[in-house]
Amino acid sequence: MLTKLKTAIITRLISPVVARLPANVLNDVMSRGSVIKKTGQRRLGRVSLAEFYIRGEGIEVGAFNSPLPVPEGVKVRYVDIAPAETLVGHAHGLDFVTPDIVDDAQTLATLPDESQDFVIACHIIEHTEDPIGAVGNWLRVLKPGGTLFIAIPDKRFTFDVERDATPLEHLLRDHEEGPAWSRKGHYEEVARLVMGVSDERKVKEFAEQNMEQVGHTHFHVWTQADMFEMIAALRKRAGLEFDVLASAAAGNETVFVLMKGDAGRDRAQADESLRSARGQVK
């Protein structure tokens, strides 16, 4: 199953030109993610955190063939970029969840503000061209106090191992100016450092064909330390309102559980604490 999953991921990323590269190149790409799930740690990390924090009714974006197990009584609607009849062409025989909502995971334009108890996004943020904007929209559709559950692959343990972590300033520029300025460079980097293509002509072909025919890749990559920097910047520099409830590293990923801010609740709690402190002064 794991080999089939890796094959599906790679074949969704590469163009027909690169797909005809020597077998040793493709085998190297397939083997670089071998840390995933060898001990079952990734599944344990996700499931245990979901069991504790996921409640009510919400959505999971991009679940495809690996939806997050949730506690009994929780209602999940699945969001994907295309309907099932289109996704089946990318499934390569894998079972996948049928989307309830067809929408762009980065914008969630069809979902109203403050309508969800939770949003789940596992191994999705690296595929977004504007991660700051994506997280902003995930928070937008959450009710105050709602839960954002994000799992992010750590590049040190995946086929992105030779790529540099995406700098924070790059993410901010993608958000402020739009991602067009960096798009082609990401595809070229994947060709060179993931696919192992050294011929610059083929690198350019890969970028052009994938931008036209595939439309997504791992645009951004992080180590765990970079992830914490990004999460902090989402609050301090992008102005998004949330608290970090939990974080755990497991397998090849780090999971973050965020809670959307609730200004009224937070102020009420602060006022109660303030009254208690002042009440001690005679």
Three-class DSSP category at 254: strand
Q: Which of 121, 104, 112 is nearest to 140 (CA)?
A: 112
| pLDDT of the residue at 34 | 35
In percent, the amount of the chain with pLDDT more than 90 equals 68
Mean pLDDT on 124-137: 96
Question: For residues 204 and 279, which has the higher predicted lDDT (pLDDT)?
Answer: 204
pLDDT, averaged across the chain: 85
| pLDDT of the residue at 39 | 41
Q: Which of 117, 174, 169 is nearest to 143 (CA)?
A: 117
Domains of the chain: 32-179+219-273 (3.40.50.150)
Q: Is the pLDDT of residue 24 over 80?
A: no
Q: Is the pLDDT of residue 36 over 60?
A: no
β strands within the chain, DSSP E: 57-61, 75-80, 101-102, 116-122, 142-153, 242-250, 253-260
Cα–Cα distances in angstroms (integers) from residue 150 to residues 46, 123, 139, in the given order: 9, 8, 12
Q: Is the pLDDT of residue 32 over 70?
A: no
Q: Which residue reads 């929780």 in tokens?
A: 74
pLDDT band at 13 (very low <50, low <70, confident <90, very high): very low
Q: Which of 187, 68, 163, 86 is nearest to 123 (CA)?
A: 68
| 184-243: pLDDT as tens digits | 999 999 999 999 999 999 999 999 998 887 778 999 999 999 999 999 999 999 999 999
Q: What pTM did the predictor assign?
A: 0.81
- Tokens linked to 114: 């403050």
| pLDDT of the residue at 282 | 63
Mean pLDDT on 248-271: 86
In percent, the amount of the chain with pLDDT more than 70 equals 84
| 44-85: pLDDT as tens digits | 588 899 999 999 999 999 999 999 999 999 999 999 999 999
| pLDDT of the residue at 271 | 81
